[in-house]
Amino acid sequence: MTGWQTIDGVKYSFSSTGVLQDGWVQDGGNWRFYSGNKPLTGWWSIGGGDAKKTYYFDPYGNMTAGKWLQIDGQWYYFNADGALARSVRIDGYEVDEHGVRKSK
């Protein structure tokens, strides 16, 4: 089995030698992060030390990137690389150190 395969409703990526891929995998225009043979969903911090970034993955495992997203009543902005924006101003809104958009 190689390439993208859907098994029990979950998409998996297999290398050209049939090995199930782990870590970052691109599917068309979407990025997913696989850990323990499954795509991550929800909030995750990935990386170590200063390289650690927070990401949000939809129920299908697609990384959110380059847009605002409302989660549990709060608005968050995810940079083009998918990392949660923190302590910045975006589109005229202040974003706090936790990534939550403040009112204008």
**What pLDDT sits at residue 94?**
97
pLDDT at 32: 93
In this structure, the number of other CB atoms found within 10 A of the CB of residue 55 comes to 21
State the CATH number of the domain containing residue 51. Answer: 2.10.270.10
Helix (H) or strand (E) holding 71: strand 67-71
69 bridge partner residues: 76
The dihedrals phi and psi of 51, each to the nearest 5 degrees, come to -85, -5
Q: Residue 49 falls within a domain, yes or no? A: yes
Q: Where are the alpha helices (DSSP H) in 1-104?
A: none
Q: What is the pTM of this model?
A: 0.85
3-state class (DSSP) for residue 68: strand
Sequential pLDDT tens for the chain (104 residues): 888 888 888 888 888 899 888 899 998 889 999 998 789 999 999 998 888 999 999 999 999 999 999 999 999 999 999 999 999 999 999 999 999 999 87
Q: What is the pLDDT of residue 21?
A: 86
Q: Looking at residue 49, what is its pLDDT?
A: 85
Number of domain units in the chain: 1
Q: Let me know if residue 3 belongs to a domain.
A: no
Going by C-alpha positions, the residue among 16, 62, 50 that lies closest to residue 78 is 62
Residue 15 included in any domain: no
Whether residue 52 is contained in a domain is answered as yes
Print the domain residue range for 91.
Answer: 27-95
Q: CB burial class (10 A; 0-12, 13-18, 19+) of residue 37?
A: exposed
Q: CB neighbours (10 Å) of residue 65?
A: 17
